[in-house]
Structure 1
């Protein structure tokens, strides 16, 4: 299985972005979270990771996307599609049969917390939690409009969703370790732990009020795609940076509740 996942990782790395934040973004979230775990929680994480010979949360941060390619039955959705209005979180409408990312985070956090579960099951839960917390902080993973529209960036046609997944982070020209330092050092307001539904509502509001109101993604002609300047990436980096930092801190809080000394 590890060999299969390694091969899939290479395929995904060589293909178009396929998930929220792609590799660098998820690595940043995982690294920041691990920095803020207590010694007890770190020990518990290390014990679970050792089941498969992994060393850090970064090592498993993209696992949930890799196994998507295998189409294993029962996999969770990596999104929750909230209406672009002022409505609150209505699980009956946006998370039917609990098949959405918000419910998945809660479900897998509960499994991780349960010491009676088999180690391999709790490890899978850990890997899903690490990934899905990151996904829920990408604004277009919490929006009814996922940004599937085509745009032109650097002379190439891509999706607006992919710009937010990858291009804004890639524009910084640093590896994930340097970016983790920069993201954590950047000033932000207080980061409230909140809930998965709360994180999704924040992202929905960013999609509605920032992404889709930007005149640079609009066009009055169906045969002409919007062309995004490099300034679009720079202008939106503070938004992405804040979401990555929030995801890292909130992931740490969730893991601390599940595995830390307060258990």
Structure 2
């Protein structure tokens, strides 16, 4: 499978952004939902720490910066960070799915190494508060990105090159996983939609569908070293990537390309999207707790 260079991928993603304003990894609403789930589970000391670091004492202190990294990557100053939003799994879906850090993380970095590097910056007391705040925004965002299956896949630029239709509109496979399918669950694209969805997911984690699973989601959370963080992130990416074979492209590219996907396909995808949003929100909470404990 041909390797997609960071430059080529950035060009494709930039073109997609021009065609689809507001589309980002999980879409802003998805990232905000993850942040709100995290807000519902962080320790009190963690909340205080990050409210101070981010300069926001409101209940939206995580959600308000959850999509900052997507805006930043399209600026001249932030263009370098584009490769940090994904890892290009060189696998062969739907026959086989896998993630290998040495094979799949490009020379310019990837979401796995970015999580480790920016976490290290947060923990470095020698860094300015502004640098640590920026790093926190990156960590909040990339913890969400790594839960989107197509952010852990190289094929057709993470699905950006697979044309599909959704509700009669021409789009691409990556975009519907970012925004259309999440919004079909939450009922909208607003901050209020994200908060409401997060409330439902929080209940599912505390006492519902996800209660028996939640502890296992955070068993490998560690900020002890860069290698520990990378190992943790590879596990998260591997989980996400597996859904490319089981759900996203279960029938191969031909099963979705140029097809209308707002019916049965979306119905099958919705439980996966809900699970990944809940999982990464809960993981973000425990990860931020670990950062504060280490700090």
TM bin (shorter chain): 0.7 to 0.9
Q: How does 1:9-158 map to 2 (within 5 A)?
A: 15-50=20-55, 56-72=61-77, 74-77=80-83, 78-85=85-92, 89-97=99-107, 99-145=109-155, 146-148=158-160, 149-158=162-171
Q: CA deviation at 1:68?
A: 1.2
- Please say which of residues 152-161 and 124-133 is displaced more in the overlay: 152-161
Change (3 A) 1:131 1:34: same
Change (3 A) 1:117 1:51: farther
Change (3 A) 1:88 1:176: closer
Counterpart CA distance in 2 for 1:215 and 1:107 is 35
SS in 1 for 2:127: coil
Deviation per residue, 1:60-102 (Å, 9 max, x gap): 0010011112132532521101133557543222113361011
SS in 2 for 1:152: strand
Q: Does 1:162 align with 2:172?
A: no
Counterpart CA distance in 1 for 2:150 and 2:182 is 15
SS in 2 for 1:171: helix
Counterpart CA distance in 2 for 1:41 and 1:150 is 42
Q: CA deviation at 1:185?
A: 2.6
Change (3 A) 1:96 1:163: closer
Change (3 A) 1:252 1:42: same
Q: CA deviation at 1:113?
A: 1.7
Counterpart CA distance in 1 for 2:60 and 2:100 is 38
- Native 8 Å contact 2:88 2:154 kept in 1: yes
- Native 8 Å contact 1:17 1:166 kept in 2: no
Deviation per residue, 1:114-152 (Å, 9 max, x gap): 222210000000000010110010000001221120011
Aligned to 1:237: 270
Number of residue equivalences:
247
**Cα RMSD (Å):** 2.7
- Native 8 Å contact 2:90 2:99 kept in 1: no
TM-score (norm 1): 0.84
